[in-house]
Amino acid sequence: MTTADQPEINKVDARSDGPPLASTAPSGLAPAAPNLLEQVRTGDRSDASGEKRPARCSGSHAVKSVGAEQPLHGMTLQAIVVALSEHFGWEELGQRIPIRCFQSEPSVASSLKFLRKTPWARDKVEGLYLFMLRNIRRSGPTIHNFPPPANQTPRE
């Protein structure tokens, strides 16, 4: 087989500034997307017309605000376990969430080791922590910052 009869598999794309890209199109046929690998590598989402399209934002990747909507943001698992053990104590914590790391020789280290490996148990611990925060907030004094009604004048 001569070099003229060989397919164009070993051709290298000279336009690429990164690693060489091999053309996989057989001789005589144009590749369907000549720059597809380069587009994927560079993030270029242009279509066949060469016009740039804006990247679409999917709903699952939307940036969420941090605050009251995400009370666990910035909380480490260690801080959560310590807060629960101080608030409830290990005995009550073992009754509320019946897992061995809370019932038999409980410690923060053994609890962290188990909870990091077990997603369902971590979910229960995080849920109990949120429940504890709600109860603490509800048991505190009620603060009302309502403005005076618009139809009444303030008394002097």
Q: Domains of the chain by range and CATH?
A: 8-49 (no CATH), 77-139 (1.10.720.30)
Q: What is the pTM of this model?
A: 0.50
pLDDT, tens digit, 9 for 90 and up, residues 101-128: 999 999 999 999 999 999 999 999 999 9
Q: What is the DSSP letter of 54?
A: P
Residue-by-residue DSSP string for 85-139:
HHHH-HHHHHHHS--HHHHSS--HHHHHHHHHH-HHHHHHHHHHHHHHHHHHHHH
80, 88 Cβ separation under 8 angstroms: no
Query: Over the stretch 4-23, which tens digit does the pLDDT of each residue have?
Result: 555 555 454 455 455 555 55
Query: What are φ and ψ of residue 12, in 5° steps?
Result: -110, 135
Q: Is 8 helix (H, G, I), strand (E, B) or coil?
A: helix
User: Is the separation of the CB atoms in 94 and 125 below 8 Å?
Assistant: no
